[in-house]
Each structure stands twice: as structure tokens, then as C-alpha cells.
Amino acid sequence: MRFIGNIIWLLFGGLFTAVEYVLASVALMITIIGIPFALQTLKLAMLELWPFGADIRTRESQPGCLSTLMNFIWIFVGGIWIFLTHMFFGILLGITIIGIPFAKQHFKLAHLALTPFGREVIYP
């Protein structure tokens, strides 16, 4: 069932959104300062391609206050808009019974989009 969900996800917007994340990542990598943020957008792009079955966990070895500072900057630079977009689509898809599994994936992506530093994506 995860495979079918991921294929449907890819066909109805997942691939397009992942390409947008990769393009944003390339734009961020042009500057030295943007490289840590680019790595987080690549993490979002990978999860956007194959969200069903993936799990988001807090890293065992926290980098300390640096991840908190980077998350703070991330939220104000653009993370809040990514978060709100995923929340909007999650609520919209959650209205229908068929859309509930896709709404759950949007809520998972929203959680990662708000604070990506210090988290890792685990694939089975």
C-alpha cells in the first residue's frame, strides 16, 4: 500500500514539489552561507518524493544550540510559509476520506518544514 500511495503522491504533485525544493537548494548553494539551508531543502525534497513509510526522528547527537539558532533563522526566512502550505493542503485533503492518508503526509512534511535542523528522515 505504501508503494501505491507514493506513486499517487508523485503523480499528483510530489514530483513537481521535489523539483522546486531541488531548485531552491541549488539557488541556496550558490552562497557559502546558504549551504546548511540547502542541505535541509534537499532533505525536504527527498521526503517529498517518497513520503509514505518514511519516519522523522530527532537526531541522537544534537549539535546543541546551533540547530536551534538555524531553525529560528529558517522559520523567519521561509520555513513558516512552507509549513503553512503543507498545513493548508493537509486540512484540505483531510476533509475527504480518500485524502486522509495524503493529509497525514502533508502534516508530516509540515512538521519537518517548520524545524528541519536536528531531525533526520528514516526510510524502511
Q: DSSP secondary structure string, 40-58?
A: HHHHHHHHHHS-TT-EEEE
Phi, psi of 21 (to 5 degrees): -65, -40
* pLDDT digits (tens), the chain, 124 positions: 788 888 888 888 788 888 888 888 898 899 888 888 888 889 888 888 888 888 888 877 766 777 888 888 888 888 888 889 889 988 998 998 988 988 888 898 888 888 888 888 888 7
Q: Are 45 and 97 in contact (CB under 8 A)?
A: no
Q: What pLDDT sits at residue 95?
A: 93
CA nearest to 19, candidates 45, 47, 44: 45
CA distance 90 to 106: 5
Q: Are 121 and 100 in contact (CB under 8 A)?
A: no
